[in-house]
Structure 1
């Protein structure tokens, strides 16, 4: 394959991933709107959001992140060694299926037996009815975790074979199932309509990704031969990344525990704020990190320190380029956006204000959070897992301590996002100081100069936002409607247009930046 063909293929794959991520985030917002409309910010909504967060966090261990980071290099080696017969990757695939069965069958049984005790231990719900409902939902949500974990194995196989369409768009099925299940079954099933939706969606996602996997010659036959070199390599790699994922899981679970002890609606406010924050974060960070991480790994393997330094600098610049205007626009329109999307049914203007409080500090720290996560991947590219683990542990401890301190100081629900923003900012500073400051050849001056240009180019957007806030508009309090949604869209597009114009004036071409990342 020529370089031109490879570059074109890479651009197509990047576009597929970006479009799928965008649709996934939008459906996530629609899903949050449906949940808020049907259940409001009531105790039931708090139970649903709290309980679903448990398996959703463990996806980082069994269905995303750790498994993907460990599985892709190993199965890719097998594909390269035997591209025709695929004996090694198919054997490893069967071993992973067997491992999933061994993990999730006992886990499902134990959850069914001990769900009330688990919920009593990790939550602080005051009402017995909330704890009982949470325990019942947890059993179903663990089944969802099992289906989504198997679906992720199928997705990783497709990625390793450079098949991106099915694995990128299959997750949309889960969101659609949840949305339709709650809309049409909540009147009869109540909170269990959510449980039915996620389990059915998990099965559909697994089925949609298995079809192209089967066409590649893989079969769902468990392989109990665990003592193979490939599986041993996978377990070693997985255990390294899993420690960091466990820390992140525990940190978010502690945040939900803190939220469950605050006023009613706090868990829902936290959950909704994370959804809005992750929409721009997920789209841009995923696009940049997905393109640059392989380049960083190749540069390190080939001992090309100049290319590694250049890729790191480019990644940090591009994160600033996209994250700063995204954070500013969403910050100044946070009430309007939340209201237009969620404020209907039982979700009131007061619930919008509560969600906006949490979202405020997430947005304030969004750029540094993205840069912190990117520097972690820079460490992974150098096969350094120890430093990110130590820093993640420190950031998590700082997050928990600050959350407790701020809650004791009376800051309430916004304590959670404020603590997260501060701790991840400190994590970024620490990693930058350890990883990049001592490096010879890294152009700190170039990075500072480009970042300063980006900041200056966003000053007009900042001024426009401040002028809008000074108007003290309250039209968003009327709640969700087509006119309000249209107004939010117009204001958002105006903000994007302002950024585009002044980026052009400052000669910052973010479209060229994406192409440059893809073609390097």
Structure 2
């Protein structure tokens, strides 16, 4: 599968995931609104979600995939004419890592369930002022904490499938969580008191469903992990030890970003009621372009960069990074402009239903605008970080992440008194821009990335095109009363989609007029595999 096709596959399925994710948030907002109990759910879900990102999607994935790919290549080289022997050797590695991961996360889950009251207090102590809300957060934390176990096994399965270039199933897996979420909100809320407990049940069911759809794909390639009882043997395996060794600094790198989110949640819980929800809804909207562009690029770049490094092809390595950065600038810059200037219509379109009122729209819009400032940085990180991980360098991202955490929290002291919850979004954005800038400087300094000719001209072309897009949106968006259109939802949908399409046309025409030819990126994507 070519680099372009792989990226298109991941991006397309990520789009489906984000659409269902937005539908899930839409239903959550319409059914439950932005209340103290929705704050309790988001706090409870953030705890297991934090560890999921640390152990599943973050550090584990970065450590496991390169070692699995290397082990597979060595096994195939030794196996020669006996592919079954090579498959068996690789499967032994998968079984031992799966065993170590499973029993470790079982222990973590048990600790989390028992320590739920203390954990909720640490992340959102402001909820204690409302005992019934605090109790609900504790209960939902206990229900959802074991989700990190299923999520980690899902990440293991995804790493295996991606190594075998089976990108479709892992990219589709998040859709299952969203569908279970939606089903629980619609069908189970009337059976719980408070009804918000239905969402916690949806998370549990979603974890099971996500894992279940991976099983047939793993079975087809002969890599369905087998969990053993002997944890000591699994931990003694040299490959397992290498994964753990690489995970240690990677956990620190990922945890710094998540600690920043936890601190922001803690601060938001002490602001006006609903602040945690406004930040969460804004984060969901911001993650749409971040995942669609950044995750797709990062998913296909990491293994491709690793192959280039394995061949000793420094030129291809640099060209891959350069291609990823140009695609990032080409697509992320207009998304940043659009998200900032269309924050009100997008927020109203997606969330202004049911108990989610005009005040909630305005507060969420402010958070979205704050996040938009750093959108290009958030996407660029997904392109730049694989440049370090493919070289098995995680120390540099760790140092950068720590520096960014300090910057972010210092900014909170300045922005929150002036902008309340929106100040938290602004601090995250500035931190993301700083993170991306430092990663880029590091790659350039060590000679890993050599900019291809034409960067100043390309930047000028994209900035000018984005400026024209900004002017067009600034002249049209304020002409409509997006809140009043609640009574005419189809009109609001049509106008919003029309603005998005019109903005895309303005940007594309401006690019073409200034001499940018998007097909050049397509051709390079085909050559880079």
State if a TM-score over 0.5 links the two structures.
Answer: yes
The one of 475, 479, 485 aligned to 1:478: 485
Output one character per residue of 1:61-109: Cα deviation in whole Å (capped at 9) or x when no partner. 2221221121112222333314423223222222233223322333333
Q: What are the residue-to-residue correspondences of 1:187-202 with 2, within 5 Å?
A: 187-189=190-192, 190-202=195-207
Deviates more, 1:361-370 or 1:413-422: 361-370
The one of 55, 63, 69 aligned to 1:62: 55
| Number of the residue aligned with 1:14 | 7
Contact between 1:293 and 1:381, CA under 8 Å: does it hold in 2? yes
Match status 1:276 vs 2:285: yes
Deviates more, 1:41-50 or 1:435-444: 435-444
Output one character per residue of 1:270-292: Cα deviation in whole Å (capped at 9) or x when no partner. 11111111111211112323333
Contact between 1:476 and 1:484, CA under 8 Å: does it hold in 2? no
Deviates more, 1:488-497 or 1:475-484: 475-484
| Number of the residue aligned with 1:3 | none
**Cα distance, 1:232 vs structure 2:** 1.4
| Number of the residue aligned with 1:118 | 119
Contact between 1:97 and 1:150, CA under 8 Å: does it hold in 2? yes
| Number of the residue aligned with 1:204 | 209
Alignment partner of 1:150: what SS?
A: helix
The one of 453, 468, 489 aligned to 2:497: 489
The one of 23, 27, 44 aligned to 1:51: 44
| Number of the residue aligned with 1:267 | 276
Match status 1:89 vs 2:80: no
Contact between 1:340 and 1:476, CA under 8 Å: does it hold in 2? no
Contact between 1:147 and 1:199, CA under 8 Å: does it hold in 2? no
Contact between 1:288 and 1:517, CA under 8 Å: does it hold in 2? no
Alignment partner of 1:63: what SS?
A: helix
Q: 1:289 to 1:365 in 2, by over 3 A?
A: same
Q: 1:276 to 1:77 in 2, by over 3 A?
A: same
Deviates more, 1:233-242 or 1:103-112: 103-112
Output one character per residue of 1:196-239: Cα deviation in whole Å (capped at 9) or x when no partner. 11111110111110122123333433253221121112111222
Deviates more, 1:318-327 or 1:496-505: 496-505
Q: What are the residue-to-residue correspondences of 1:96-111 with 2, within 5 Å?
A: 96-111=97-112
CA distance in 2 between counterparts of 1:399 and 1:68 reads: 26
**Cα distance, 1:59 vs structure 2:** 1.4
Contact between 1:148 and 1:203, CA under 8 Å: does it hold in 2? no
Q: 1:377 to 1:33 in 2, by over 3 A?
A: same
| Number of the residue aligned with 1:156 | 159
> TM-score if structure 1 supplies the norm length?
0.93
Deviates more, 1:60-69 or 1:320-329: 60-69
Q: 1:437 to 1:221 in 2, by over 3 A?
A: closer
| Number of the residue aligned with 2:322 | 313
Give 4+ residue runs of structure 1 displaced > 6 Å after superposition: none
Gaps in structure 1 of 5+ consecutive residues: 1-5
CA distance in 1 between counterparts of 2:449 and 2:163 reads: 33
Alignment partner of 2:236: what SS?
A: coil
Aligned length: 511
> TM-score if structure 2 supplies the norm length?
0.91
Output one character per residue of 1:285-308: Cα deviation in whole Å (capped at 9) or x when no partner. 123233333343344444443333
CA distance in 1 between counterparts of 2:490 and 2:478 reads: 25
| Number of the residue aligned with 1:430 | 438
Deviates more, 1:283-292 or 1:294-303: 294-303
Q: What are the residue-to-residue correspondences of 1:277-356 with 2, within 5 Å?
A: 277-356=286-365
Contact between 1:251 and 1:400, CA under 8 Å: does it hold in 2? yes
Match status 1:258 vs 2:267: yes
**Cα distance, 1:113 vs structure 2:** 2.3
Gaps in structure 2 of 5+ consecutive residues: 77-82
**Cα distance, 1:366 vs structure 2:** 0.9
Match status 1:182 vs 2:216: no
Contact between 1:349 and 1:477, CA under 8 Å: does it hold in 2? no
Match status 1:450 vs 2:479: no
Contact between 1:108 and 1:139, CA under 8 Å: does it hold in 2? no
Deviates more, 1:133-142 or 1:398-407: 398-407
Contact between 1:173 and 1:204, CA under 8 Å: does it hold in 2? yes
Contact between 2:339 and 2:369, CA under 8 Å: does it hold in 1? no
Contact between 1:391 and 1:427, CA under 8 Å: does it hold in 2? yes
Deviates more, 1:233-242 or 1:441-450: 441-450
CA distance in 1 between counterparts of 2:329 and 2:368 reads: 19
Alignment partner of 1:383: what SS?
A: coil
**Cα distance, 1:194 vs structure 2:** 0.7
Q: What are the residue-to-residue correspondences of 1:386-405 with 2, within 5 Å?
A: 386-405=395-414
Deviates more, 1:90-99 or 1:490-499: 90-99
CA distance in 2 between counterparts of 1:345 and 1:254 reads: 30
Output one character per residue of 1:464-505: Cα deviation in whole Å (capped at 9) or x when no partner. 01212453x323343372221121111111111111211222
CA distance in 1 between counterparts of 2:384 and 2:4 reads: 24
**Cα distance, 1:437 vs structure 2:** 4.9
The one of 518, 521, 525 aligned to 1:517: 525
Q: 1:432 to 1:208 in 2, by over 3 A?
A: closer
Alignment partner of 2:188: what SS?
A: helix
Deviates more, 1:253-262 or 1:444-453: 444-453
